[in-house]
Structure 1
Amino acid sequence: MAPKVACWHLMLLLFYFLVTACHLFAASHGATDAEILVNFKNSLSTNSLLHDWNVSGIPPCTGGSDNWVGLRCNDDGTIDKLLLEDMGLNGTIDMDILMQLPKLRTLSFMNNSLEGPMPEVKKLASLRNLYLSNNSFSGKIDEDAFDGMNSLKEVYLAHNEFTGEIPRSLVLVRKLTKLSLEGNQFGGNLPDFPQENLGVFNAAGNNFKGQIPTSLADFSPGSFAGNQGLCGKPLPACKSSRKKTIVIIAVVVVAVVALSATVVLACIRFGDAVVALSATVVLACIRFGDGKKEAQSSDPFGDGKMGDRGQLHFVRHDRDRFDLQDLLRASAEVLGSGIFGSSYKAVLLDGPAMVVKKFRHMSSVGKEEFHDHMRRLGALSHPNLLPLVAYYYRKEDKLLVSDFIENGSLASRLHGKRSPGKPWIDWPTRLRIVKGVAKGLAYLYKEFPTLALPHGHLKSSNVLLDDTFDPLLTDYALVPVVNKDHSQRFMVAYKSPECSRSDRPNRKTDVWSLGILILEILTGKFPENYLTLGKGGDADLATWVSSVVREEWTGEVFDMDMMRTKNCEGEMLKLLKIGMCCCEWNLERRWDLKEAVAKIEELKERDNDDWSNSYASEGEVSSSRAVTDDDFPFSVTS
């Protein structure tokens, strides 16, 4: 019996190997795209939103048509883009499966919960766009992680947990145009990037140190914010090491003398000497732009299911109608990713450009309540509000559609990289912006008399500028439909003193945000605490302004670009006082909006003689005296 049993076992083993070999051969040579995608789905821990990925149904692509969620297809029926954003995916990415899709050119897993080390993306040598932002990838990226990726143009790795230095293979990707690394734990020195067409770069919120290389010096200071060891243009200059070297030499000399004395006077005991060296790098001018990313969109507007069952609800009757499918077919660009979700520019076929904002943190509001509030927003009409055009409702996601404003945001104008021919913002323009913002805010206060926060998220990136540089407020009056825990953690108004201490906003809380915005416009400096996650409560900009105007003079406060305008320093000082009165920590002493708007309306583009002569003799207010408590009888510190 033993030989028969052995023979039987041998036959079973051979059968097993044959079956395994057939599976491997099919996977590598004969597997369909549907089978490959299903295998990839099964490799993930959570894939509930990929339920229509099924080999027994319709194929993923039919010609150029996309039949499965998260795909973009080529005309020949192959897969061009895999776009699995905002799907709650867990697990790791198996590149061995994806490399079986030879024409895959764009890969996006943004806004999920994927983890593990950096995926082996070099196995997709022909990849052009890689988006991995807002996940939980971690660890050091291997030096050769991007070897051979000669077609790669856009890499987004922001808001993960990567460590170590930027890999050399990434620096040498010759076609690289956009690189987003912010919000990780990268360290070491920033390398010199040789690419001439690198137009987007962001390394904020890491642990980089040393001199910023000249190849990156023209990017916004906001691209380097939060790296305490960085210095050099566009940040303050690096401190000279000469003085430190002299101190070190002196310490060495003293140590040598002490050692000699010890040898000579062996019986004399010396106490320990501790030499403390300290160096402080103060980033006095943190600036922050919109981080405009004109990346080709991954499926920006949902998970593919919207187009079948959902519809856009138009709240304005003065616009041409289009449907959700028109948006899905539109050419799209990623404008950015904020605290609510992602924003996209969609250019409709034979139509205008629209902005679609996808909101992820409105799930607690009921359907009817949401519809009612959107209709109320659609009924608003004011020259300083960007009107809501349409919206889409689904329990998990909401879309708000508005016009695209070519000039961009006030934040990008104040803090962004200035391109050739881009004008600086003079004092008359800044004053017009402040007046327009105040009017728009006053209108919101009138239309929402029962809301504690008629705006709730007033900041420079939510102030757009039209072609005449008049301001348009966006993201207004959303507090009633945003999940409360999210609004308390991230919305700007909740960074005011009363909210950081007790989570109790009131009708003066928006005034605080207006005051911070005024100080930002006057100084050209970005409020650093707005960069932090969670409630800041630290009135860094207001405190800095208060300390400078009391110790030196307002010339140290005002943005030098604005100071090119002559005979306006008196009016600037008036606006500075208004901003500080809006930033009063004591609620009872803080101005209400009506008083602030009235004072703003009184401001003029040029000084009158009485004001100028009271502060300077020849019509200049350069450095004649410091401001006293009689000028600003209030406090901006707790």
Structure 2
Amino acid sequence: MHALFLLVLVICNFYGPVDCLNGEGYALLSFKESIHQDPEGSLSNWNSSDENPCSWNGVTCKEQRVVSVSIPKKKLYGFLPSALGSLPVLRHVNLRNNRFFGSLPVELLSAQGLQSLVLYGNSFSGSLPKELGNLKYLQTLDLSENFFNGSLPTSVVQCKRLRTLDLSRNNFTGPLPDGFGSGLVFLEKLDLSFNSFNGSIPGDMGNLSNLQGTVDLSHNLFSGSIPPSLGNLPEKVYIDLTYNNLSGSIPQNGALMNRGPTAFLGNPGLCGPPLKNPCSSDTPGASSPSSYPFLPNNYPPENADDKGGKKGRGLNKSAVIAIIVSDVIGICLVGLLFSYCYSRVCAYGKDKDESRYGFEKGRKRRKECLCFRKDESETLSENLEQYDLVPLDTQVAFDLDELLKASAFVLGKSGIGIVYKVVLEDGLTLAVRRLGEGGSQRLKEFQTEVEAIGKLRHPNIVTLRAYYWSVDEKLLIYDYVPYGSLATALHEKAGMVSFSPLQWSVRLKIMKGVAKGLIYLHEFSPKKYVHGDLKPSNILLDQNMEPRISDFGLGRLANIAGGSPTLQSSRIPMEKPQERPQQSASSEVSAVHSSANLGSFYQAPEALKVVKPSQKWDVYSYGVILLEMITGRTPLVHVGSLEMDLVQWIQLCIEEKKPLSDVLDPYLAPDADKEEEIIAVLNIAVSCVHSNPERRLTMRHVCDALDRLVVSSD
């Protein structure tokens, strides 16, 4: 093949370079020739008559040199030729979700400047070449959902800049290489699930301090004990060890603590909490149960009376005497408590009783004095129950105990509390926000507010399913929205595997969905609500890319709960924007441009002067989001050495009559034929961010205008 390129270059030099494709172009033409089927015509403009390949579909050049070949999801059927390795400055290869087969050519690994190699969702097979270690600059290696086999070459630990390693759903075997944890210290994502890796889990994996999201080692053949060093991983990392051959006690430290049993299922040899299989006294490393992630350590655990261990031979005489003495003391204490209840509780009236005790299981409070009367003994025990999950609709089929036993890991933290992703044993996934630890005297206020929010039902608003209240803990249980936030979808780094630029049609769908959600809040909710803090980080996307507005009323609830909320719908200081935690597995990747870091730029100018929020605040925030979706820029724009907000920058572009191409997100270049539609949406956005609130559109007018666009485009 290289001899052929040399011949081509000689011929080109003989006839002159002007009318001849350069060597990189011929290397790519050999790639085209290796494709047996191209049903969508993705390579139709790859022609030898061009001077260079820089204008070809899927090819990106820098200074007329090919740096990227990206042709994902085009149903290409063929094999991967060795010629790609001859591209001297190749940095990125993305052929995910096609139908490529055959082995990974060793020659491809000659492109030593390669930074990302994404081949997942194909039918590649064979073992990985040891030359993989030559890729010193490799940051992303995603070979998942193929048929690769053999062991992972030891040379992989030489790829010291690797940040994403996804080998899931292949046929890899053998142990992980020595130095796996100490050599790949920059790893942020690790997924080895659904293979046949065996041997012990390397003890040095605890050195991977940059890991995020889920470390997935599930469905393999790993054996031996769980190394306690795994607890040294970041605490918000979720470690999935299910369905291996692991044995021994589960270490109770760091990232291994506060996990539900589903993280360890399918390992019959494991014992100890959170599993129901207790460790015998001679099991190495046997430990005591840990607390649940949501509740304080004094929450009564399941089987609190079961002490475990071996049975004794009976009680000796001194023990019996001690029990009798303690019983006498206990009876005296009960008498004192009875006297206190009668003199204090009844004397101070019904209101103080209600503020002291928690919710009943039936969410109905007693209004009588809580004194001990024989005919009320059963209802008394319910009145005193402080650990109670309150459902907000009839579809809630789980209880507090199931919630606490579930697998949970931290999605993010902020001044408004911690957000967990929780997977129940039946597979139901929820998002749980843990609020402050005070506010014990504002129970009725919290109940009124949260039940009002719980009544909101709209396809474009995240549903609040249940809540929990006690003196020490307040939890909000929402539907889990799996595809992350709009902020991540717009501004996630292009080098990350999961990054896929949003097409204009998808953006238009999101814009319309958010508008519908706001119309519901403004016009059809019981109190004609105002969101007050709308931004891309709290617009979540489901599996159909349908937007779901979240965090409505959160600032108010956090304030009632006794925390120190940094986000409130009525007053949000511009000089102190706060980051909102991410909500889904895809958002586990850090989006450096997240709008959550720039929250103040979504606020209407009058928000700094007026205490009571209005619906026009939401319209302004929505307008900024429209501008962000059109331009691809964050709300803070850098122009040379200057900084200005996105609204000011758009106004400047309009005054200077810049062409749309200077304003448009580069990822929307393929949608250039939608120019009229894009300009129409830009005009809507400009109307929404008018400095005079009275001259802004209503969300009803915005939605009608977007509907007309969709009809006209059809």
TM-score, scaled relative to structure 2: 0.41
TM-score, scaled relative to structure 1: 0.46
